[in-house]
Structure 1
Amino acid sequence: MESWLKRSGVSGLDDLELADFSDTGRGVRTRRQFEKGEKILTIPNGVLWTVKHAYADPIIGPALLSAQPLLSVDDTLATYILFVRSHWSGDYGLGSHVAALPASYTSSIFFAEDELEVSAGSSLYTITKQLDQQIEVDYKELVERLFGRHQELFPRDKFTIEDYKWALCTVWSRAMDFKLGDGDSIRLLAAFADMLNHSSEVEQCHIYDVKSGDLSVLAGKNYKAGDQVFINYGPVPNNRLLRLYGFVVPGNPNDSYDLVLATHPMAPFFEQKHKLWVSAGLDSTSTVSLTLTDPLPSSVLRYLRIQRLNESDLAVMMSHQSDAASERISDSNEVEVLRFLVESISSLLDGFGTQLEKLGEQLAEGFYSPGGNAWSAAHVSLGEQRVLRLARKKAEDLLAAVETGSGIKRAQCAACKKVSVQLMRCGRCNEYKLG
Structure 2
Amino acid sequence: MESWLTKVGAVGLSDLELTDFPVTGRGVKTLRRFKQGEMILTIPSDVLWSVEHAYSDPNLGPALRSVMPPLSVEDILATYILFVRSRESGYDGLRTHVSALPGIYSSSIFFSEGELEVCAGTSLYTVTKQLEQRIKDDYRQLAVRLFAQHPDLFPLQKFTIEDVRLLRRATDPYKWALCTVWSRSMDFTLPDGSSIRLLAPFADMLNHSSEVKQCHAYDVKSGDLSVFAGKDYEIGDQVYIYYGPIPNNRLLRLYGFVIPDNPNDSYDLVLTTHPMAPFYEQKQKLWVSAGLDSTTTVALTLTDPLPKNILRYLRIQRADVSGLAAITLQQIDGTDEKISDSNEMEILRFLEESISSLLNCFATPLERLEKQLAEGVYPVGGNAWAAAHVSVGEQRVLRLARAKARNLLAAVESGSGSRSPSAPARCANCDKGSVPLMLCGRCKSVMYCGRTCQVAHFKQHKAACRGTAQ
Q: TM range, normalised to the smaller chain?
A: over 0.9
State whether residues 180 and 186 of structure 1, in contact with CA within 8 Å, keep that contact through their aligned partners in structure 2.
yes
Q: Which residue of 2 aligns with 1:38?
A: 38
1:407 aligns with 2:412: no
Tell me the distance in 1 between the aligned counterparts of 2:335 and 2:279: 16
Q: Which residue of 2 aligns with 1:234?
A: 244
> What whole-Å deviation, never above 9, does each CA across 1:226-246 have from its counterpart, x for those lacking one?
100000000000000000000
> What whole-Å deviation, never above 9, does each CA across 1:224-272 have from its counterpart, x for those lacking one?
0110000000000000000000000001000000111111111111111
Structure 1 residue matching 2:118: 3-state secondary structure: helix
1:294 aligns with 2:304: yes
Q: Which residue of 2 aligns with 1:432?
A: none
Q: Which residue of 2 aligns with 1:425?
A: none
- The 3 A distance-change label for structure 1 pair 185 and 410 is same
Tell me the distance in 1 between the aligned counterparts of 2:90 and 2:126: 38
By how many angstroms is 1:88 displaced? 4.6
- TM-score between both structures, scaled by the size of structure 1: 0.93
By how many angstroms is 1:9 displaced? 6.3
Q: Which residue of 1 aligns with 2:15?
A: 15
State whether residues 326 and 339 of structure 2, in contact with CA within 8 Å, keep that contact through their aligned partners in structure 1.
no
Q: Which residue of 2 aligns with 1:428?
A: none
Q: Which residue of 2 aligns with 1:370?
A: 380
Structure 1 residue matching 2:23: 3-state secondary structure: coil
Matches within 5 A, 1:201-220: 201-220=211-230
State whether residues 147 and 154 of structure 2, in contact with CA within 8 Å, keep that contact through their aligned partners in structure 1.
yes
Structure 2 residue matching 1:254: 3-state secondary structure: coil
By how many angstroms is 1:151 displaced? 1.2
Matches within 5 A, 1:74-85: 74-85=74-85
Tell me the distance in 2 between the aligned counterparts of 1:280 and 1:39: 44
By how many angstroms is 1:285 displaced? 1.2
- The 3 A distance-change label for structure 1 pair 73 and 359 is same
Query: Which of 203, 226, 229 is the equivalent residue of 1:193?
Result: 203
Q: Which residue of 2 aligns with 1:429?
A: none
By how many angstroms is 1:344 displaced? 0.3
Identity %: 70
1:58 aligns with 2:68: no
Q: Which residue of 1 aligns with 2:142?
A: 142
**Code of the aligned partner of 2:6:** K
By how many angstroms is 1:410 displaced? 2.5
Question: Root-mean-square deviation (CA), in Å?
Answer: 1.7
- TM-score between both structures, scaled by the size of structure 2: 0.86
Structure 2 residue matching 1:119: 3-state secondary structure: coil
Instruction: Between 275-284 and 77-86, report the one with greater CA deviation.
Output: 275-284
By how many angstroms is 1:91 displaced? 8.7
Greater RCO structure (CA 8 Å; 6+ sep): 1
- The 3 A distance-change label for structure 1 pair 224 and 89 is farther
State whether residues 89 and 95 of structure 1, in contact with CA within 8 Å, keep that contact through their aligned partners in structure 2.
no
By how many angstroms is 1:7 displaced? 3.1
Give ranges in structure 2 of 5+ residues lacking alignment: 162-171, 424-431, 434-470
**Code of the aligned partner of 1:71:** L
> What whole-Å deviation, never above 9, does each CA across 1:66-119 have from its counterpart, x for those lacking one?
111111000000000000011158992111100100110000000000000000
State whether residues 8 and 202 of structure 2, in contact with CA within 8 Å, keep that contact through their aligned partners in structure 1.
no
Tell me the distance in 2 between the aligned counterparts of 1:339 and 1:90: 65
Tell me the distance in 1 between the aligned counterparts of 2:101 and 2:107: 15
Q: Which residue of 1 aligns with 2:126?
A: 126
Tell me the distance in 2 between the aligned counterparts of 1:325 and 1:362: 47
Tell me the distance in 2 between the aligned counterparts of 1:121 and 1:266: 29
By how many angstroms is 1:5 displaced? 3.3
